[in-house]
């Protein structure tokens, strides 16, 4: 597999990191008003609240693209766009009591994937896995949840929780590095999110600054489940082998083509914590500007596999120790990766919680219930404030380009049966069921 990427000396300076697996999509992408796929502006197929396709009767509380106003582009990846969208259901717009005007805006991020790039069974499985993880993540305090899924002839739509504070990459570009106390807080919330996924048999596989969002209160939310692997038994030492993720965060066992388990997520957390506290990647390629031939993925992977991690002397002993624990090249000895044969399950989460870097500074129960005040609260002037999002996205035109008729004709629509979904809890809150 050929991987294209441009590595700068300081990884913090880059807005996004290319993901290796060809079927990957970035979670942040563009948003917009119409035009939509159907030139007439109508679509005979709608989604009822049970998640089934149905013919749309007048006044039905179904969900389709016409129920959303696309406001801004907030992200873009190789295979997806993400829009800021306001949910404005048709039946409320036409309601004589004008209920819509009496409610605050209901804002979501809308991830849009072209069906034309979903080429084979593996791609279909990837889409289904991402949907499944979104469903599992709903209502978790540190994971982005799912509102609904629907489709048009040319596209798949994930309507997900809109997190207003921007991503850690955006904030790191402005702050360069974080105090250890701030890095500890974010790493602890990420740890709880990863442990939840692991308990539910999911390896995240794409932890990076871009995928850690801050909500309006300053708490983190992990997003983008396109790289996830599901179906592993947390109580057994089950493994998988797919080579995927983001180059700078890949664990040594994956680079060696060894089977792996949840260990790769704890390695990635170590890389991310290093970036937060040191303001740079732990894997710098010295002299790459003078020797561009060295500035390759192969060279980066060689550095990850062979070179020792140089931890800044400015960090405390506890910070140095936790980074050495997460960035141990041997997954059997890595912090968070202990398997207890007596208990018959993964036991590394307890090791993390009790590590001197986290304990007793972190009260894990209070943290999980969001009772600890975050170190930073984004300044937001309104619900639609996008000041914490990169202008390279928000300045883009808000549009969904129609697909070519020949491209549409080649799409096997039957492959996408059952994609539709509506979260019953969210819809109940919104008064739609």
Q: How far is CA 433 from the centre of its chain?
A: 29
**Beta-ladder partners of 146:** 160
Nearest to 237 by CA among 209, 208, 259: 259
Q: How far is CA 58 from the centre of its chain?
A: 36
Cα separation, 243 vs 228, in Å, equals 12
Q: How far is CA 43 from the centre of its chain?
A: 30
Cα separation, 237 vs 261, in Å, equals 7
Nearest to 311 by CA among 357, 351, 348: 357
Helix (H, G, I), strand (E, B) or coil at 86: strand
φ and ψ at 218, to 5 degrees? 100, 0
CB 137, CB 225: distance < 8 Å? yes
CB 255, CB 246: distance < 8 Å? no
Among candidate residues 30, 167, 206, 265, the one labeled active-site is: 206
CB atoms within 10 A of CB 35: 12
Catalytic (active site) residue 37 = no
Q: Which residue has the tokens 């079927």?
A: 23
Q: Which residue has the tokens 């984004």?
A: 378
CB 255, CB 293: distance < 8 Å? no
Q: Which strand (E) or helix (H) includes residue 181?
A: helix 180-199
Per the structure block, which two tokens stand in for 210?
């871009």
Helix (H, G, I), strand (E, B) or coil at 359: coil
Cα separation, 244 vs 199, in Å, equals 21
Would you please indicate which residues are annotated as catalytic (active-site) residues? 206
């Amino acid at each position: 597999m050929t991987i294209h990427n441009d590595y700068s000396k300081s990884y913090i300076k880059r807005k996004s990191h290319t993901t290796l697996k060809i079927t990957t999509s970035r979670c942040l992408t563009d948003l917009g008003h119409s035009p939509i796929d159907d030139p007439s502006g109508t679509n005979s197929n709608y989604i009822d609240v049970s998640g089934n396709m149905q013919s749309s009767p007048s006044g039905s509380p179904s969900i389709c693209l016409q129920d959303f106003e696309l406001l801004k582009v907030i992200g873009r990846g190789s295979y997806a766009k993400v829009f800021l969208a306001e949910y404005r259901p048709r039946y409320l717009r036409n309601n004589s009591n004008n209920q819509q005007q009496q409610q605050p805006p209901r804002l979501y991020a809308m991830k849009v994937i072209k069906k034309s790039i979903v080429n084979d069974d593996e791609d279909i499985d990837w889409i289904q896995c991402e949907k499944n993880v979104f469903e599992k993540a709903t209502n978790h305090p540190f994971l982005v949840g799912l509102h609904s899924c629907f489709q048009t002839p040319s596209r798949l739509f994930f309507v997900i929780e809109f997190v207003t504070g921007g991503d850690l990459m955006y904030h790191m570009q402005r702050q360069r590095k974080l105090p250890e106390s701030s890095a500890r807080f974010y790493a602890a919330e990420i740890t709880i999110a990863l442990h939840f996924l692991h308990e539910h048999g999911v390896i995240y596989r794409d932890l990076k600054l871009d995928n850690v969002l801050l909500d309006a209160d300053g708490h983190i939310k992990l997003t983008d489940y396109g790289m996830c692997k599901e179906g592993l038994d947390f109580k057994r030492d089950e493994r998988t082998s797919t080579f995927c993720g983001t180059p700078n965060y890949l664990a040594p066992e994956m680079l060696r083509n060894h089977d792996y388990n949840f260990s790769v997520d704890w390695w990635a957390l170590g890389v991310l914590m290093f970036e937060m506290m040191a303001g740079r990647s732990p894997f710098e390629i010295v002299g790459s500007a003078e020797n561009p031939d060295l500035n390759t993925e192969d060279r980066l992977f060689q550095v990850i596999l062979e070179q020792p991690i140089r931890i800044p002397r400015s960090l405390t002993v506890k910070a140095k120790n936790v980074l050495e624990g997460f960035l141990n090249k041997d997954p059997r000895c890595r912090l968070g990766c202990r398997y207890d044969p007596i208990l018959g399950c993964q036991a590394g989460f307890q090791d993390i919680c009790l590590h001197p870097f986290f304990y007793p500074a972190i009260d894990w129960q209070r943290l999980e219930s969001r009772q600890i005040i975050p170190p930073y609260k984004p300044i937001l002037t309104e619900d639609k404030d996008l000041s914490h999002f990169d202008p390279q996205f928000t300045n883009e035109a808000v549009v969904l380009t129609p697909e070519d008729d020949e491209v549409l004709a080649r799409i096997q629509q039957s492959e996408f049966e059952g994609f539709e979904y509506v979260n019953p809890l969210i819809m109940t809150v919104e008064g739609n069921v």
